[in-house]
Amino acid sequence: MAEYVPPLRDIRFVLEEIGDISALTKLEPFQHLDPDTVFGVLEEGGRFMAEVMSPLNRVGDTVGSRLNDDGSVTTPPGFQEAYRQYVEAGWPAVGSPQEFGGGGFPWLVVIPLQEMFNAANLGFSLGPMLTHGVIDLLTLHGNAEQQVTYLQKLVTGEWGGTMELTESEAGSDVGALRTRAVPADDGTWRISGQKIFITYGEHDLTDNIIHLVLARLSDAPPGTKGISCFIVPKYLVNADGSLGAPNDVRCVSIEHKMGIHASPTCVMSYGDEGGAVGYLIGEPNRGMRYMFTMMNSARIAVGLQGMAVAERAYQAALSYAQERRQGRVIGGTSTEPAPIVEHPDVRRMLLTMKAYIEAMRCVLYTNAVSIDLAHHHSDPEVRQTRQELVELLTPVSKAWSTDLAVEITSLALQVYGGMGYVEEAGVAQYYRDSRIGPIYEGTNGIQAMDLVGRKLPLRGGGVVNDYLSQIDALDSELASGGEELASVRANLAAAAGALRGATNWIFEHGLADPNDALAGATPYLRMFGLVTGGWLLARSALAATRLLTEGRGSKEFLEEKIATAQFYAEQLLPQAAALGGAVTAGAKVLYKVDLSHAVPG
């Protein structure tokens, strides 16, 4: 099995031509950076992930993390040393605020670093991802004392963090949670209850684990309006910052999962000895609002995981196809078996993987730079426009990317043929690891309902209409690209028109019966992702054409960018129009079969 190779040329191209990293580093918060510094950091980050994290991916899958009799969790061999190197090199701090010891890098730089970490070792990367979310939440909503107590050690990676929402009776319906918080005499709270599916809820990589736990006060209103958020550290922290006594929290089991075996998915119990000490964040009953700070960034991060594991699977499949010899080239003269990469259907699979991955990278990086601009641009109108784009693209980034990851890793197995189905070949891990993506941080069905029910109505539909107009506006530029970009132009126009028609149908029929809109939400999100990816790859092709004309960059690389956009436009983008029927079919047929009482057979 080939090791991971960071796709630095692709990353740099997207940062420069889609993300406009040069303009971003001119903004006041990022003037300590310049593009050369950024690319130097990414090159070193890629080297670290490839040399230190990637070799542990296989042992993470085959050995996994294990629960000990005392409730502690042991991570796979090599993980502790690799994490120590990760902390000593300063990688956890790159994207955190400078006032808490971070590097102050923009999201547009953090995202490619996370991509390479995810691709190198997805199971390992999940813990640091959640720690970043804890940092975000405490930075925005924690009080000064909480920030001083926890943030510096979280930023350095000396401590880890978790987000804890899910309970056995409160999964997607978080408002049904039953974990309780009772006030103590000293201003703290006593937390009791049990949480499930807690990623890195217990492990041996950090000195302390800072759990962010959703719980309900005794007088809280029902549902999500009555949820509060608490800091519950594994070890209490003394006034001088040193670690104190163990808190009343323990891991009672870890799940035996289909994939991501290196990541301990824990059942956490609070208050078995009388109540875990918790510290209220912000105001009572506003915990869901605070947690969404963490969840939205986590949803983009999960979409990134999908793209990253797809990249890893593509690299493995490409390497195998170049080496595996079987069959002869159709129309060729050689009687020797040819590498299977020469066969048209294998090329179709590989190009499908490559085109989708490049489209996903463009979507995710566009989302990332939009976060940066929404927070830091000097022009309030730009900030508003970019924040609206973040709202629109976040459910697409998460759901479209993770759905595609499952398809792409499955294609990788297909390229391997029978050997792909054999665990020793290693490629099956990517399929198993990818399958969690469409489920956690809000299932993809929920993301689709969010897109249709909450995001399309933003500004009375103005946000999505402005977005579709922006896609349409590219047509004149593509027209100047001549015959080479003709198919890209034609297919993008057709797909964008289908998306606009589907959007208008949802506006018209969703008001009359919301079930009609929700019934088509998932195919609509798929259509939205396809068109967005096609638009951004068209922009990539235009940029590559310009660079070729100017004589800048690698001719082979830039011509591949154009060819990949052509393949996407001709063979993948037409799916968008085909999805229109599913979007507009309505909900009536879904209820013609009485599934509530149906019996198989």
Distance CA 85, CA 87 (A): 5
Please enumerate, as own/partner, the contacts of 235-241 that have beta carbons within 8 Å and a separation of 24 or more.
235/207, 235/208, 236/277, 237/149, 237/150, 237/208, 241/149, 241/153
Find the helix or strand (DSSP H, E) in which 210 lies: strand 208-217
Find the helix or strand (DSSP H, E) in which 265 lies: strand 265-270
Active-site residue, from 44, 407, 441, 556: 441
Distance CA 508, CA 335 (A): 62
44 is catalytic: no
Q: Which residues pair with 217 in a beta bridge?
A: 181
Distance CA 499, CA 393 (A): 15
CB-based contact 342:353 (threshold 8 Å): no
Question: What is the three-class DSSP state of 557?
Answer: helix
What are the structure tokens assigned to 541, written together?
């092709």
Q: Of 83, 415, 437, which is closest to residue 260 (Cα–Cα)?
A: 437
Find the helix or strand (DSSP H, E) in which 236 lies: strand 235-237
Distance CA 58, CA 316 (A): 13
Q: Of 111, 109, 117, which is closest to residue 21 (Cα–Cα)?
A: 109
Q: Of 294, 247, 298, 292, which is closest to residue 274 (Cα–Cα)?
A: 247
SS3 content of the chain, % helix, strand, coil (to 5): 60, 10, 25
Distance CA 112, CA 361 (A): 9
Which sequence positions are flagged as catalytic? 441
